[in-house]
Structure 1
Amino acid sequence: MVETFLRPFEMCVKEGDASSVMCSYNKINGVPSCVDTRLMKQTIRNEWNLHGYIVSDCDSLDAIYSYQHWLDFSPEEAVAAATRAGLDLDCGLFGTNYHKDHGVKAVAEGKLAEKDIDNSLRNLYMVLMRVGFFDNIPQYENLGVKDICTPENIELARESARQGIVLLKNERNTLPLASTKGNKKLKVAVVGPHAQATDVMRGNYAGPPCQITSPENGISRHVNVITRLGCDDFRCKSAHNISEAVEAANIADATIIVTGLDPYHIEGEEKDRDNLLLPGYQTHLIEQVAEASNGPVVLVIMSGGGVDISFAQNNPKIGAILWAGYPGQEGGHAIADVVFGRYNPGGRLPLTWYTNKYVNLLPITSMRLRPDTELGYPGRTYKFYDGPEILYPFGFGLSYTGFRYTIKNFLAAATAATIAMSSSHQKCKNVTYRADTFGFAPPKCQSVVVADSPCGETIKIDVQVTNTGTVDGTDVVLVYSKPPVEIDGAPLKQLAKYERVFVPAKSAKIVKFELNACEALGIVDSTAYVVLPAGKHMIQVGDGEKAVGFPVEIKF
């Protein structure tokens, strides 16, 4: 909980000064999150110092009463318990709002004190004042579509989509495609169930777009397009239309296959996937179209999560693969920009992509992230996975050029960093060491609790990023920390910092990183304390063959 699920919320509140946090429907250790005093008051409000309000997910209070039957609460008792626990606002659903509908009665029955309501109002009005709601600012009086759908904002949507596209494969420099063949426009077959996608690209919980450009429309701005979907929709339940897509690929100069999942029926709220495969006959469609194509084949995947496309990765007829996520209203333009070389992709995968075998390695009910050696379950995420070979690792992403990392400078003291502890803060905490670390002598002070330590030490790194190719490009420099190998149950590595940098062809730039030792090297122990362990840590820049690094030894 502390290590993985709370961490992004904590960063948003403490580092981004978020103004609101939402509690959800689920229970945490048996307690509904919207009546969890420890979570909302102790953690979010006090420890993280939230300057704002806490709102329920829509209908969460009704779920406590109607579905979870938590402590047999009445609606009034649910409102009272949630408000006392730190909830300031009920989102409500379909015209119902527990604060409005049951709050007055809860006060009248003595279940809810006015001081608790005053506290919620104080948090809500604090945010209203922060955003200038009462300041009568003229330019904010009549905001509308014209203020949102500006050329600058539309271009921002396009740039966001471009930055998020990840190049997963590019054999024989299939991409970028030329838009012409001789003095004529290229004839491109655009096939697959998402070739004309619009709403799908918006993902889940999206507002109305200013405009929307499908892949077909975006690509048609550059080349002559032959569009054959090959499937009725993303489910692709029948193969009867695949022949049309095959025929289009056979007569085209190049083929772009746009397939994937769906944010409403497969990956949407209340939906769980039981496999990592493409739906229906999509795989069959891709393989047949690729086989029939007489020109280069590009596969574009739209999805939120990973998909087992190992068949495409291993197919020599499929020269390039792009993952576009759900790229939003300008997704069609962004895909075309990458395909035709107007933009050099620099996106990185935000999660590990497993093969479909992974779903059989552990049950969906297993919530552990660390490996379970007794049951033979592998770990989850790049931090803990120790199972069979994966498809693409966390942070993976190719480019139309190449990059090389060189560590030009790092703080000399970082190689033997010493964390000073005053005599009044000698709160050493033992950690668990692996049984196979023969000859290892644990230090007297094995770790310190980060919350009780000054944590003023920093590690400064200058990384030279060299573009070794002939194309200008953007690289995302990932900096990881690796804890001492002797510690049992510690992450294999964890992301400490990252920076996106544009580097012209055949040139280099210096990227400077400054890591707080406690934040970068700290781990969460088995008792949910964030500790900084003693021993030899590693700082690693990049992944795979181009990774470079150096040790950092922590002594107390």
Structure 2
Amino acid sequence: MGWEGVQLGGFFGIAQPIRHTEPQKIDHLFILPSSQTSQPSIRRKLKMATVVPSKTRKGTRSAACNASALSSLCCFLLIVTITIFASDGNAEGLRPAFACDARDARTKGWGFCGTNLGIAERVSDLIGRLTLQEKVRLLVNNAAEVARLGIKGYEWWSEALHGVSNVGPGTKFGGEFPAATSFPQVITTAAAFNASLWEEIGRVVSDEGRAMYNGGLGGLTYWSPNVNIFRDPRWGRGQETPGEDPVLAGKYAASYVRGLQGNLDGGRLKVAACCKHFTAYDLDNWSGVDRFHFNAKVSRQDIEDTFDVPFRSCVKEGKVASVMCSYNQVNGIPTCADPQLLRHTIRGAWRLDGYIVSDCDSVGVLYDNQHYTSTPEEAAADAIKAGLDLDCGPFLGLHTERAVQLGLLKEADINSALANTLTVQMRLGMFDGEPSKQPFGNLGPHHVCTHSHQRLALEAARQGIVLLKNHGPSLPLSPRRHRTLAVIGPNSNVTATMIGNYAGVACGYTTPLQGIGRFAKTIHQQGCAGVACSSEELFGGAIDAARQADATILVMGLDQSIEAEFRDRAGLLLPGHQQQLVTRVAAASKGPTILVLMSGGPVDVSFAKNDARIGAILWVGYPGQAGGAAIADVLFGTHNPGT
């Protein structure tokens, strides 16, 4: 039977937003409430509200909010507020952040509110009205309000790596927006080699992002995508990237950014994307070296031919509105304080029309961890003069005014930084008055988790699956010949694992077990108590299941406990006793054995390639909310992974 030989009526893998506390069954998709997944229903975030520094002396540590500073508090008083974001909260009464409300009579006298004027003129007018203190408070991600000018506070940090996410404090789920479409992790969709798919995903994500902004639950500045080169396969964040190929990463960057931002007339933006993390960053925490102390020693040729390629494409082809500098140093200079990288390359050679932002607390890191400057004021001055416009973190808010007073920095330098951020906000329409009367003001709850969006999530997962081996051939399976399937493995019935990191709350899930269950009767055994697979205690049940079934599907691999931000791997083998489980189950199976690998980074499965008892191997990455449906479609031939 060919790949196209099985056709099923109806569409599977479509969910509705999570609104109930009990499992529901909708269109053959079981939806679990968030409390039954690894996505917490209530997310508690500690957000730096105020940092009051004690007196500092040369060589002492500042208040950068990084891992080491938080652990010791570094002689600072941290006034911390706890913000609770509940997934079933009430969003009624929330308003999006915008300025120049027509109901405020004062706006008629403010040039920056004049939509008949050019954006540059409006930005200049606004900057001219701000005091130095007000300007400094606008240099950080949680920008303060300027009440006397009708400007609300704004949180710049939102994420949309592969769907609208609540990882950043600028976006939260609740009320009429309990979830958003969660597409496959980037490493998976990149494997589709389909630029139109990437752009369409970006368009859908920005539709949902604009809808959440209109509902008062989201921002318009998304610090995505991650287009770093995945050079070291052990890197925990490689899953977030398009992979190791600079050309592919560049094509992905430009396509996804175009989809997000909308390519509107007059330079207007639907949302503002951000390509990160510039540059030569592919280590988080490995063998005693972490990203806060990592110095990437890279030749000029390697920078230009490899590491910078996706960023150049992002800026020049994608017309991205922002670039983020990284924690690490490149050849001894912190990226966020390197004028060659920021001012001369990004803004000069590539002509960035937008702002440059630091990775969170990177400015503090270059002083605290890397000891690049003697004082925090020097660190603030170096970063701004190098070309940094916005600090994710409190550092510039704490030390920039004093840097001006010491003569390390001119107020004109701050004005230049603000001009770049304010220009992006005006291109987004945030100074044009009531959002409902602006382009995209009609987008709302009914434009999130739609059937068409979820169909695209399924299609993206299908296209990203890679067939690594098919001996015999063993695939596709036949519902007539393979009536009973043993479905085994620690990833065989997972939900949140399928969406990887930097994800939000998915509309719903189809697990591998549920997807396969559409085609055949299943016998399910986990085999391992989690992907760490630290013992063989559950092997017996898995082996018995394989002996009874017409075919065996092993869903193995990794999850965020093995590879993640600040969690690099020591090697490339399957964790714990997974290899032993695969080998023993394959030996016992009375029918074909199929190995399905769920992972972001590569896994060495040469043992399975060389084992004749394992007929086929699929790599599925982290396939998103509809991953189980996509896996089943490939296994049973309703989708050909070669197309």
Q: Same fold (TM over 0.5)?
A: yes
Task: Output the CA distance in 1 between the equivalents of 2:541 and 2:584.
Answer: 11
Does 2:577 align with 1:286?
no
Alpha-carbon displacement from aligned partner over 1:21-41 (angstroms, at most 9, x marks no partner) = 110100000011100110001
1:403-482 paired onto structure 2 within 5 Å: 474=643
Task: Output the CA distance in 2 between the equivalents of 1:112 and 1:219.
Answer: 62
Task: Output the CA distance in 1 between the equivalents of 2:408 and 2:492.
Answer: 57
Name the residue aligned to 1:273: 569
* Deviation of 1:111 (Å): 2.5
* Deviation of 1:153 (Å): 1.0
Q: TM-score, normalised by structure 2?
A: 0.51
Of 540, 565, 571, the match for 1:243: 540
8 Å contact from structure 2 (residues 356, 389) kept in 1: yes
Does 2:315 align with 1:13?
yes
Of 628, 631, 634, the match for 1:335: 631
* Deviation of 1:281 (Å): 0.3
1:147-166 paired onto structure 2 within 5 Å: 147-166=447-466
Name the residue aligned to 2:420: 123
**Structure 1 residues 197-206 or 153-162, which shifts more?**
197-206
Name the residue aligned to 2:517: 220
* Deviation of 1:103 (Å): 2.6
Alpha-carbon displacement from aligned partner over 1:5-24 (angstroms, at most 9, x marks no partner) = 11111111111111111101
The structure with the larger Rg is 1
Of 306, 314, 322, the match for 2:602: 306
* Deviation of 1:142 (Å): 7.5
Name the residue aligned to 1:389: none
Name the residue aligned to 1:324: 620
* Deviation of 1:69 (Å): 1.2
Aligned residues: 338
Name the residue aligned to 1:501: none
RMSD of aligned alpha carbons: 1.7
* Deviation of 1:340 (Å): 1.2
Task: Output the CA distance in 1 between the equivalents of 2:535 and 2:452.
Answer: 42
Task: Output the CA distance in 1 between the equivalents of 2:318 and 2:479.
Answer: 43
- Which runs of no fewer than 5 residues in structure 2 stay unpaired? 1-302
Does 2:340 align with 1:38?
yes
Secondary structure, aligned partner of 2:477: coil
Does 2:187 align with 1:187?
no
1:50-69 paired onto structure 2 within 5 Å: 50-69=352-371
Residue type of the partner of 1:89?
Answer: L
* Deviation of 1:110 (Å): 2.8
Residue type of the partner of 2:320?
Answer: A
Identical aligned residues as a percent: 52
* Deviation of 1:55 (Å): 0.8
Of 399, 405, 421, the match for 1:108: 405
Does 2:330 align with 1:28?
yes
Task: Output the CA distance in 2 between the equivalents of 1:306 and 1:300.
Answer: 13
Task: Output the CA distance in 2 between the equivalents of 1:99 and 1:157.
Answer: 39
Task: Output the CA distance in 1 between the equivalents of 2:529 and 2:322.
Answer: 42
8 Å contact from structure 2 (residues 366, 373) kept in 1: no
Residue type of the partner of 2:379?
Answer: A
* Deviation of 1:172 (Å): 1.1
Of 378, 382, 392, the match for 1:91: 392
Residue type of the partner of 1:304?
Answer: G
Of 478, 498, 520, the match for 1:178: 478
Task: Output the CA distance in 1 between the equivalents of 2:602 and 2:592.
Answer: 24
Residue type of the partner of 1:275?
Answer: G
Name the residue aligned to 2:351: 49
Residue type of the partner of 1:14?
Answer: K
Task: Output the CA distance in 2 between the equivalents of 1:73 and 1:321.
Answer: 55
Task: Output the CA distance in 2 between the equivalents of 1:265 and 1:81.
Answer: 37
Residue type of the partner of 1:169?
Answer: K
Residue type of the partner of 2:615?
Answer: G
Task: Output the CA distance in 2 between the equivalents of 1:317 and 1:221.
Answer: 26
Task: Output the CA distance in 2 between the equivalents of 1:123 and 1:192.
Answer: 50
Does 2:366 align with 1:70?
no
Task: Output the CA distance in 2 between the equivalents of 1:37 and 1:67.
Answer: 20
Task: Output the CA distance in 1 between the equivalents of 2:350 and 2:552.
Answer: 51
Q: Greater relative contact order: 1 or 2 (C-alpha under 8 angstroms, separation 6 or more)? A: 2
Name the residue aligned to 2:249: none
* Deviation of 1:114 (Å): 1.5
* Deviation of 1:144 (Å): 5.2
Residue type of the partner of 2:506?
Answer: P
Task: Output the CA distance in 2 between the equivalents of 1:285 and 1:14.
Answer: 49
Task: Output the CA distance in 2 between the equivalents of 1:300 and 1:30.
Answer: 42
* Deviation of 1:105 (Å): 2.8
8 Å contact from structure 2 (residues 385, 413) kept in 1: yes
Residue type of the partner of 1:218?
Answer: G
Secondary structure, aligned partner of 2:581: helix
1:448-527 paired onto structure 2 within 5 Å: 474=643
Name the residue aligned to 1:80: 381
**Structure 1 residues 144-153 or 56-65, which shifts more?**
144-153
Alpha-carbon displacement from aligned partner over 1:192-242 (angstroms, at most 9, x marks no partner) = 111112222111222221222211122112221111010000000101111
**Cα distance change of structure 1 residues 213 and 106 upon mapping to structure 2, 3 Å threshold:** farther
Name the residue aligned to 2:292: none
Task: Output the CA distance in 2 between the equivalents of 1:240 and 1:344.
Answer: 36
**Cα distance change of structure 1 residues 145 and 340 upon mapping to structure 2, 3 Å threshold:** farther
**Structure 1 residues 111-120 or 287-296, which shifts more?**
111-120
Task: Output the CA distance in 2 between the equivalents of 1:12 and 1:147.
Answer: 27
- Which runs of no fewer than 5 residues in structure 1 stay unpaired? 346-398, 400-473, 475-556
Residue type of the partner of 1:260?
Answer: G
Of 528, 545, 564, the match for 1:231: 528
Alpha-carbon displacement from aligned partner over 1:392-439 (angstroms, at most 9, x marks no partner) = xxxxxxx3xxxxxxxxxxxxxxxxxxxxxxxxxxxxxxxxxxxxxxxx
8 Å contact from structure 2 (residues 373, 379) kept in 1: no
- Structure with greater helix share of residues: 2
* Deviation of 1:77 (Å): 2.1
**Cα distance change of structure 1 residues 325 and 294 upon mapping to structure 2, 3 Å threshold:** same
Task: Output the CA distance in 2 between the equivalents of 1:69 and 1:274.
Answer: 28
Task: Output the CA distance in 2 between the equivalents of 1:248 and 1:228.
Answer: 7
8 Å contact from structure 2 (residues 357, 389) kept in 1: yes
Name the residue aligned to 1:545: none
Secondary structure, aligned partner of 1:3: helix
